[in-house]
């Protein structure tokens, strides 16, 4: 790889600062007492504590998955603090009482919390370490019956909804990290869209890990009642530390008859430095249940950060004629490792799914697509189309594709296409001999490569994502 | 056309270069003035394609001696994109395919980068569309190619038209056409050659690098140079190309070697 290519990929991480703020941090370690303490701090009902303890007991019997194509030292789960919250000066009644230091932090991250300054048409819930610190446009959304609040508030104010749906898509014992999350989750976002309502603005959650020794275990639950629609976006950043922080989230989506949920992620956790020191371990379980007929769930993700990404946003297509989509761009650089993809489980009749995955590997990174398409025996007329493209930048990165296809119904139609391409010296020289420098050339090639995914993002974020990829690759060309 | 005392655009003196330690150029000398068309001919492996790539700044080659001045500036000190912005253009023998990048977006970025460099207005996509639709007439290209990915799935002839289209858009002072005739049928050759002829002005210059004489039936050179063993060993007028066509290259080499022997 020429030095031009090197130079384009190696851009410093912009969100690596730490906010100096008084925090209420639990001592490191995990046991039933810690779980009881978290539950008590959050003033939770008994059934929720039971949910946690059950998950914890199950987790103790489980082992970490070793099948992903990633390598890292064994995590000491007793060396993590499971709760860290900025100390409130007093009980908050409005945003004006949010610690100014926090307001400044999010301002700096480009997420202003004052509604008048906020992105027009986007409501934001902001999660700082273990707690949600603010939610904008809550009142306005409530006027049309939409509930958009932190998970903790939902537990207090809408316990019947939480109880009904929590764990209904990702059971507490689903997998090692989902079980851990179910035991210790601290906050997250809750969305409820009532029957026949089209959510008038983009909803979004911004996750920020600030404390070096803590993990972030948040929980997101989105319920779209019959005939409703919502578009939701999450963003994430973390300071630059030379240790690894664990992020093990669970996201559950439920779409009832004729409902549609569009879930987009722009993930920019700290990825570690060029030698692979530090960075977030992003071990996340995301799953959507198309419970009703004609329901639709669409995942779009732009994964650029984290030292390790282990994530498979999936759709269970239960309702007849329901459909699932997965659009993904995963970019890895330096020593990052990503094992990401999706699962499309076709259960109902005439269910459809579409997978478009674009993996970009630069530096010495390793990028794997892993996807399951499963057609059940009753899924008459099910259809799937998968397209997995990989792009290699330079000569030291790796791209892998692991498709799993299981078909139990002979009326199903499943298509899989895959390609691998490479940004090489000859392409860059071609751009250069037309007056275009390496950075712009790479950005143009990458944007062309990712076009099918970017067009799925809400507009403001498509622009952000394009810029982000450019930044991430800066310095890698050469 | 030869214009007495016109401005010197390119001055190559005693240029040496290698790739992976293998010496390819062994003392090339060439002077190109505004208004002139030069043909650099020679057998396969003579170093003529290497010469064109080195002028454009291909990173795989290493210059080990000599110098290249472009309008008096040290060309070799500039990275490839700066050379293009200074007015040097290479039409590739094998243009690269760039999947996912639309030809029109690529052409517009190239054009606007140069416009910005020259302190002129950039064009928005709509303005550029009008502009480029005029330019493609020069190479008789189907506008559908503007919406396709750069060179992806283009036939050999379409790729070469696309190269000349880029030349038309970037308006270089010095255009180096590397084997632009290779892989073209006679109709495509005529179209491409006509395109080049329309772009020649008293202020710019063209260097045609070619193995065969047939391109020179359509684009008349002012000078013909024979490259052999990494050097220009003979220079003549357009009639030299015809002589090479009938007699081959061997006699030129023999003549050069005996002349070298005499001076030795």
**Min distance A119 CA to chain B CA atoms (Å):** 27
Higher pLDDT: A468 or A82? It is: A82
Nearest to A182 by CA among A291, A79, A49: A49
Beta strands in A270-397 (DSSP E): 279-290, 296-303, 308-311, 314-317, 323-332, 337-346, 352-361, 366-375, 383-393
- Please say if the pLDDT value at position B248 is more than 90: no
To the nearest whole angstrom, how far is the Cα of A433 from the nearest Cα of chain B? 6
Q: Out of A111-115, A154-158, A162-166, B99-103, which region has the weakest mean confidence (pLDDT)? A: A111-115
pLDDT mean across residues, chain A: 84
Give the tens place of pLDDT for each residue, A36-83. Answer: 999 998 899 999 999 999 999 999 999 988 888 888 888 888 888 888
Nearest chain B residue to A432 by CA: give it.
Answer: B81
B167 pLDDT band (50/70/90 cuts)? very high
Q: Using alpha carbons only, how large is chain A's radius of gyration in Å?
A: 22
A-B CB pairs within 8 A amount to: 73
Determine whether the interchain pair B106/A444 forms a contact, defined as Cβ–Cβ distance below 8 Å: yes
Helix (H) or strand (E) segment spanning residue A22? none
Q: What is the mean pLDDT of residues B82-95?
A: 96
How far, rounded to the nearest angstrom, does the alpha carbon of residue B80 sit from its chain's CA centroid? 14
What local confidence, expressed as pLDDT, does residue A439 receive? 83
Chain A residue with the nearest C-alpha to that of B168: A434
Instruction: Record the tokens describing residue A349, joined without a space.
Output: 């009749």
Q: How far is A9 from chain B (nearest CA, A)?
A: 19
CB contact under 8 A, A451 and B89: no
ipTM of the complex: 0.94
d(CA A188, CA A127): 7
Reported confidence tier of residue A22, pLDDT bands at 50, 70, 90: low
Mean pLDDT, chain B, whole residue set: 93
Q: Residue B65 pLDDT more than 90?
A: yes
Residue A120 has pLDDT above 60, yes or no: no
d(CA B225, CA B234): 6
For residue A452, the model assigns a pLDDT of 85
Strand order in the sheet with B231-236: B88-91, B174-178, B205-210, B37-41, B223-228, B231-236
pLDDT of residue A224: 98
- Work out whether strand B231-236 and strand B223-228 pair parallel, antiparallel, or are unpaired: antiparallel
Q: Which helix (H) or strand (E) holds A221?
A: strand A218-224
- CB atoms inside a 10 Å sphere around CB B229: 18
Rounded distance, CA A47 to CA A50, Å? 5
- Tell me whether residues A435 and B92 touch, CB distance under 8 A: no
CB distance from B102 to chain A under 8 Å?
yes
**Tens-place pLDDT, residues A400-454:** 999 999 999 999 999 999 988 888 888 999 999 999 998 889 888 888 888 888 8
Question: Above 90 in pLDDT, residue A256?
Answer: yes
Residue B90 contacts A, CB cutoff 8 Å? yes
CA–CA separation, A363 vs A375, rounded Å?
37
Question: If you measure CA to CA, which chain A residue comes closest to B85?
Answer: A435
Residue B43 Cα, gap to closest chain A Cα (Å): 24
* Residue A29: predicted pLDDT: 86
Task: Check CB contact under 8 Å for A430 and B95.
Answer: yes
Say which of A421, A435, A444 has its CB closest to residue B85.
Answer: A435
> How many helices (H) does chain A have, and how many strands (E)?
11, 24
Tens digits of residue pLDDT in B19-64: 999 999 999 999 999 999 999 999 888 999 999 999 999 999 999 9
CA of residue A300 relative to chain centroid, distance: 9
Q: State the first-to-last Cα distance of chain B, in angstroms, to the nearest integer.
A: 36
* Cβ separation A433–B84 shorter than 8 A: yes
Instruction: Tell me the pLDDT band of B99, cut-offs 50, 70 and 90.
Output: confident
**For residue A97, what is the DSSP state?**
G
Nearest to A434 among B59, B99, B170 (CB): B170
| Mean pLDDT computed over B229-234 | 95
**DSSP line for chain B:** ---TTPPEEEEEEEEEEEETTEEEEEEEEEEEETT-EEEEE--TTSSHHHHHHHHHT-TT-EEEEEEEEETTEEGGGS-HHHHHHHTEEEE-SSPPPEEEEEHHHHHHHHHHHHHHHTT-----HHHHHHHHHHHGGGGT--THHHHSEETTT--HHHHHHHHHHHHHHH--SEEEEESTTTT--HHHHHHHHHHHHHH--TT-EEEEEESSSGGGGTS--SEEEEEETTEEEEEE-HHHHHHHHHH-SHHHHHHHHHHHHHH-
- The whole-angstrom separation of Cα A254 and Cα A204 is 17
Structure tokens at B202: 């008293």
Reading the block at residue B93, the tokens are 């023998």
**pLDDT tens digits, A176-231:** 999 999 999 988 889 999 999 999 888 888 777 666 666 788 899 999 999 999 99
> pLDDT tens digit string along A284-323?
999 999 999 999 999 998 888 878 888 999 999 999 999 9
A445·B100 Cβ contact <8 A: yes
Q: What is the pLDDT of residue A1?
A: 37
Q: Would the pLDDT of B84 be above 60?
A: yes
Is residue B113 within 8 A of residue B69, CB to CB? The reply is no
Is pLDDT larger for residue A22 or for residue B151? B151
Answer yes or no: is pLDDT of A121 > 60. no
What is the model's pLDDT at position A478? 44
φ and ψ at residue A205, rounded to 5 degrees = -125, 135
Nearest to A356 by CA among A416, A429, A303, A423: A416
Cross-chain residue pair A433–B56, CB shorter than 8 Å: yes
From B81, B99, B102, residue closest to A432, measured CB to CB: B81
- Which residues in chain B touch residue A429, judged by CB atoms under 8 angstroms apart? 56-59, 80
Q: By percentage, how much of chain B surpasses pLDDT 70? A: 99
pLDDT at residue A6 is higher than 60: no
The most distant pair of C-alpha atoms in chain A lies apart, rounded to whole Å, by: 69
B78 touches chain A (CB under 8 A): no
B79 in contact with A, Cβ within 8 Å? yes
Residue of B nearest to A478 (CA): B59
Query: Which residue, among A329, A435, A444, A447, would best test binding to B if mutated, counting the most B CBs under 10 Å from its CB?
Result: A435
Question: How confident is the model at residue A157, as a pLDDT?
Answer: 94
End-to-end CA distance of chain A: 6
The answer, yes or no, to whether residue A156 has pLDDT greater than 90, is: yes
pLDDT at A132 > cutoff 70: no
- Cα A1 to its chain centre, rounded Å, is 32
At residue A234, the pLDDT reads 82
**Closest to A448 (Cβ–Cβ): which among B85, B100, B113?**
B100
Average pLDDT over residues A85-105: 60
User: What token pair was written down for A403?
Assistant: 């498709």
**B231 has pLDDT over 80:** yes
CB contact under 8 A, B117 and A431: no
Q: What is the mean pLDDT of the segment spanning A6-24?
A: 63
* Cβ atoms of A378 and A348 closer than 8 Å: yes
Quote the CA–CA distance of A123 and A113 in Å, as a whole number.
Answer: 9
């Amino acid at each position: 790889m020429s030095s031009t290519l090197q130079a384009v990929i190696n851009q410093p991480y912009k969100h690596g600062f730490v906010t100096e703020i008084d925090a209420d941090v639990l001592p490191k370690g995990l046991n039933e007492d810690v779980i009881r303490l978290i539950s008590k701090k959050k003033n939770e009902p008994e059934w929720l504590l039971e949910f946690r303890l059950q998950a914890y007991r199950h987790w103790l019997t489980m082992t970490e998955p070793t099948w992903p194509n990633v390598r890292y030292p064994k995590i000491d789960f007793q060396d993590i603090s499971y709760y860290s919250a900025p100390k409130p000066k007093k009980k908050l009644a409005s945003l004006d009482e949010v610690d100014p230091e926090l307001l400044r932090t999010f301002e700096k991250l480009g997420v202003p919390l004052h509604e008048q300054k906020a992105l027009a048409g986007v409501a934001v819930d902001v999660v700082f370490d273990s707690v949600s610190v603010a939610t904008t446009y809550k009142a306005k959304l409530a006027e049309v019956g939409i509930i958009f609040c932190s998970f903790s508030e939902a537990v207090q104010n809408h316990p019947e909804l939480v109880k009904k749906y929590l764990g209904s898509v990702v059971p507490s014992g689903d997998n090692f990290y989902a079980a851990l999350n179910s035991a210790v989750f601290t906050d997250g976002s809750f969305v409820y869209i009532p029957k026949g309502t089209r959510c008038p603005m983009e909803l979004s959650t911004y996750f920020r890990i600030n404390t070096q020794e803590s993990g972030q275990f948040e929980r997101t639950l989105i319920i779209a009642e019959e005939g409703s629609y919502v578009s939701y976006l999450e963003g994430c950043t973390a300071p630059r530390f030379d240790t690894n922080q664990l992020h093990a989230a669970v996201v559950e989506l439920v779409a009832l008859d004729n409902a549609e949920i569009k879930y987009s992620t722009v993930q920019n956790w700290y990825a570690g430095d060029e030698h692979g020191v530090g960075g977030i371990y992003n071990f996340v379980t995301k799953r959507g249940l198309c419970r009703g007929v004609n329901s639709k769930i669409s995942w779009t993700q732009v994964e650029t950060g984290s030292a390790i990404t282990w994530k498979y946003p999936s759709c269970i297509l239960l309702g007849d004629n329901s459909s699932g989509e997965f659009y993904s761009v995963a970019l890895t650089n330096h020593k990052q490792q990503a094992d990401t993809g999706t699962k499309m489980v076709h259960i109902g009749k005439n269910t459809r799914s579409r997978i478009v995955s674009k993996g970009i590997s630069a530096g010495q990174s390793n990028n794997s697509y892993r996807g399951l398409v499963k057609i059940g025996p009753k899924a008459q007329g099910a259809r799937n189309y998968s397209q997995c493209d990989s792009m290699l930048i330079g000569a030291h990165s790796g791209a892998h594709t692991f498709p799993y296809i299981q078909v139990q119904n002979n009326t199903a139609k499943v298509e899989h296409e895959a390609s691998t391409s490479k940004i090489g010296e000859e392409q860059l020289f071609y751009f250069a001999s037309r007056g275009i420098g390496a950075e712009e050339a790479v950005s143009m090639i990458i944007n062309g490569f990712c076009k099918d995914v970017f067009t799925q993002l809400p507009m403001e974020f498509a622009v952000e994502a394009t810029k982000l990829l450019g930044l991430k690759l800066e310095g890698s060309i050469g | 056309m030869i214009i007495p005392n016109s401005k010197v655009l390119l001055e190559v003196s005693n240029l040496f270069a290698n790739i992976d330690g293998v010496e390819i150029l062994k003392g090339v000398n060439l002077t190109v003035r505004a208004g002139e068309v030069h043909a650099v001919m020679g057998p396969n492996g003579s170093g003529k394609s290497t010469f064109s790539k080195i002028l454009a700044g291909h990173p795989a080659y290493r210059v080990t001696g000599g110098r290249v001045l472009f309008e008096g500036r040290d060309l070799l000190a500039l990275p490839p994109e700066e050379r293009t912005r200074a007015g040097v253009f290479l039409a590739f023998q094998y243009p690269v395919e760039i999947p996912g990048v639309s030809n029109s977006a690529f052409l517009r970025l190239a054009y606007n980068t140069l416009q910005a460099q020259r302190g002129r207005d950039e064009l928005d996509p709509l303005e550029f569309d009008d502009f480029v639709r005029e330019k493609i007439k020069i190479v008789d290209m189907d506008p559908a190619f503007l919406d396709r990915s750069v060179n992806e799935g283009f036939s050999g002839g379409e790729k070469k038209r696309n190269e000349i289209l880029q030349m038309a858009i970037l308006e270089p002072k010095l255009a180096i056409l590397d084997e632009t005739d290779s892989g073209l049928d006679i109709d495509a050759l005529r179209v491409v050659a006509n395109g080049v002829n329309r772009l020649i002005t008293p202020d710019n210059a063209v260097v045609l690098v070619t193995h065969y004489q047939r391109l020179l039936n359509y684009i008349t050179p002012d000078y013909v140079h024979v490259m052999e063993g990494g050097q220009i060993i003979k220079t003549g007028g357009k009639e030299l190309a015809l002589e090479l066509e009938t007699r081959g290259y061997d006699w030129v080499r023999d003549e050069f070697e005996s002349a070298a022997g005499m001076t030795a």
